[in-house]
Structure 1
Amino acid sequence: MAEAIQLKTRGELQAMRAAGRLLADAIAAGRAGVAPGVSTLDVNDVVAGVIAEGGGTSNFLHYGARRDDPGFPATICASVNDEVVHGIPSADRILHDGDLFSIDAGCILDGWHADSAVSVHVGTPPSMDEVDLIAACERAMWVGIAAARPNGRLGDISAAIEQSVAWSSRADGRRYGSVSGYGGHGIGTAMHMAPFVPNQGKRGKGPRLAPGTALAIEPMLTLGRPGTRVLADDWTVVTKDGARAAHWEHSIGIGEDGICVLTAPDGGAAGLLPFGVVPISLD
C-alpha cells in the first residue's frame, strides 16, 4: 500500500513558509559568497550560520545517521561540475573560475522542513553550453511548479518538467540528459515524505494533489547522457560520462486557492509570471 500524503492546514503551510523564507535567506547568502578561491566548506559555513541565526537547524546534517554511521556530514550538498547531487563540502575543494556549482540545502524551523537548491557559475561561464544548461534546468523547475494546482495530479508536474526539457533541447540545439531515479518528494514534518515526484511522467496520472499537500520539485539535467553513479563516499552522485550537471529545487505548498513557492523570497511571483500563475500568499 502506498504511503499516505501528509496534508497540512493553512496554518501549518504558513509555518512551512517561515521555514522556507529562512532557507531562502541562507541560500542567498551562500550564493553571494561563491567566487574563485572559495572552498565549498566556506559556502557551507555561511549557509549554516544564517540558518542558526534564524533559529533553525539543518535537516541535511547527520541525515541518514545510524548507530555506526554519522550520516551526511554537512549543512549543504555542494556539487561541482559533473557532480549531480549530494556532494560533500570540503576545505580542500576550492572553486575555480568557470566551475558549475550547485548548492542544495534544507532547514527545520518549529518542526517544519524546507528544501531548496540552485546552480550557479563560479566567475565566468566557460561556454554557452553551461549557461543554457542552468537556464534549462531552472525553467523545467518553474514549468513543473506552474503545473501544480489544487486537486490536480502528480503526473501533471512530472509531464510538465519532461516537456520543458524537450522544449529547451530543441530551442538550444542540444539534447539534455534528464536524470531519473532521483527527483522531488513530499515534505512537511520530515524532509523526505510521500510522494516521490519523478521528473518524467504523464498528465492526469498519479495521486491527486489535495489542498494541504507540500512538495519539493527538483529537476536535474546534464550536458550528456543521464546515467549516474555514486562515488566511494556513498553520497556523491556523478554523471557516468563526466558531463556537467545542474540542479534546481523549490518547496511548494498547495492551498485551497492555489500554490505558494515556500522557498522563494517572493512566494514564486517572478518565476511563475511567464506561465500566467499568480501564487497565493502565506506570509
Structure 2
Amino acid sequence: MFRRSVYKKPAQLRGMVAPGEITAAALDAVAEAIRPGVTTLELDRIAEEAITARGAHSNFQLVPGYSHTVCVSVNEQVVHGIPTERVLEAGDIVSVDCGAETPEGWNGDSARTFIVPGEAADPSLVAQRQELSDVTRGSMWAGIAALASSSHLGQVGAVIQDHIEANPLPSTGQPAGILRDYVGHGIGRKMHEEPTLFHYATPGRGAEIKPGLCICVEPMMTAGSDEVFVEDDDWTITTVDGSSGAHWEHSVAVHAGGIWVLTAPDGGAEALASYGVTPVPIP
C-alpha cells in the first residue's frame, strides 16, 4: 500500500508548476546551444544560468556526490553522464537530463535527446540514432497519454512497452532495448519520491492514478541490447554492446480536471493531440 502522502493537495500541485516551467526553460537554452564544438560542460553552465536567472537552483546538485546542474549522456551512454570537456561532434546523440527546485521547495525534472546537427561521418548511424530518439520520445508520450485514462501505473508501463514493440527501429528491424533497472518516479518536495513507474509491463498493478499524483515518465532505450554497465566514474550508464542510447522525460501532474505536463510549455497539448488527450491546466 502506498502512503497517502504521495498524492498532493490542489495548492501543492499549483506549487509544482513553476519548477516545471523553469526546468523546461533550461532545456530550451541547452537546445539552442547544441552544435559541433560545444562541450558538455558548457551545456551544464548554460542550464545552470537559465535556472538561477529564474530564481531557482539545480536539484541535481542536491544529490549526494553530484556537483553539476545536468547529466549529459553521449552516444553509447544512456543516462547519468557527467559533464566534462568532451567536445560534441556532428551526428552525436546527446541526452540531457535536468531539474530545478524553487525557493518554496518544489521540484521539476525533465530530459530530452538531441542529434548534434551538421555533416556526420556516418549518415546511416545518424539516421539510426534519430529513429531511436523518435521511438523513445513516442513511448514517453504514449505513457503520458495513458495517465489520462488508466487506473494504475502498471497499465502505463505496459503501454510504453507496447509502443516500443510495435515500432521496431527500421534500421535493425528490432525493438529498442528498454533499460529495466532505471525507472520513473514520483516528484514533489524531492526530485525522487514514491511511487515507482516501470517502463515495461509488470505483474503488479502499481500505484493508483488519481488526483494529486505527480510522476516522471522517463523511458531510457538503446538501439541494441538492454545490457548496460556503470563506468568508472560511478555515475555514467553505458551500453555493453556500444549501441546508442536515448532518454526522454517529463514531469506530469494528475488533478481533478485531467493531466498537465509540468515540463512542457504547452502542458503537452501538441504532442497529446494525436492520442485524443487534451491537457487541462492546474486550477
Query: Residue 49 of structure 1 corresponds to which residue in structure 2?
Result: 49
Query: Residue 25 of structure 1 corresponds to which residue in structure 2?
Result: 25
CA distance in 1, matches of 2:175, 2:154: 23
Query: Residue 122 of structure 1 corresponds to which residue in structure 2?
Result: 116
Contact 1:62 1:74 in 2 (8 A): no
More off after superposition, 103-112 vs 161-170 = 161-170
Query: Residue 95 of structure 1 corresponds to which residue in structure 2?
Result: 88
More off after superposition, 115-124 vs 243-252 = 115-124
C-alpha deviation, 1:202, in angstroms: 5.0
Query: Residue 108 of structure 1 corresponds to which residue in structure 2?
Result: 101
Query: Residue 263 of structure 2 corresponds to which residue in structure 1?
Result: 263
TM-score, reference length from structure 2: 0.93
Letter in 1 for 2:95: S
Query: Residue 8 of structure 1 corresponds to which residue in structure 2?
Result: 8
CA distance in 2, matches of 1:237, 1:41: 18
Letter in 1 for 2:49: G
C-alpha deviation, 1:271, in angstroms: 1.1
Which SS does the other structure have where 1:251 is aligned? strand
Mark the CA change 1:229 to 1:146 in structure 2 (over 3 Å): closer, same or farther: same
**Count of residues in Structure 1 that have an aligned counterpart in Structure 2:** 276
C-alpha deviation, 1:150, in angstroms: 7.1
Query: Residue 169 of structure 1 corresponds to which residue in structure 2?
Result: 168
CA distance in 1, matches of 2:12, 2:170: 40
Query: Residue 130 of structure 2 corresponds to which residue in structure 1?
Result: 131
Corresponding position: 1:282 with 2:282: yes
Q: Where does structure 1 lack aligned partners over 5 or more consecutive residues?
A: 66-70
Q: Where does structure 2 lack aligned partners over 5 or more consecutive residues?
A: none
Ranges of 4+ aligned residues in structure 1 off by more than 6 Å: none
Contact 2:169 2:176 in 1 (8 A): no
TM-score, reference length from structure 1: 0.93
Query: Residue 273 of structure 1 corresponds to which residue in structure 2?
Result: 273
| Alpha-carbon RMSD | 1.8
More off after superposition, 33-42 vs 163-172 = 163-172
Query: Residue 79 of structure 1 corresponds to which residue in structure 2?
Result: 73
Mark the CA change 1:189 to 1:150 in structure 2 (over 3 Å): closer, same or farther: farther
C-alpha deviation, 1:170, in angstroms: 7.1
Contact 1:150 1:210 in 2 (8 A): no
Letter in 2 for 1:76: V
C-alpha deviation, 1:6, in angstroms: 1.4
Contact 1:40 1:95 in 2 (8 A): yes
C-alpha deviation, 1:48, in angstroms: 0.3
Contact 1:73 1:88 in 2 (8 A): no
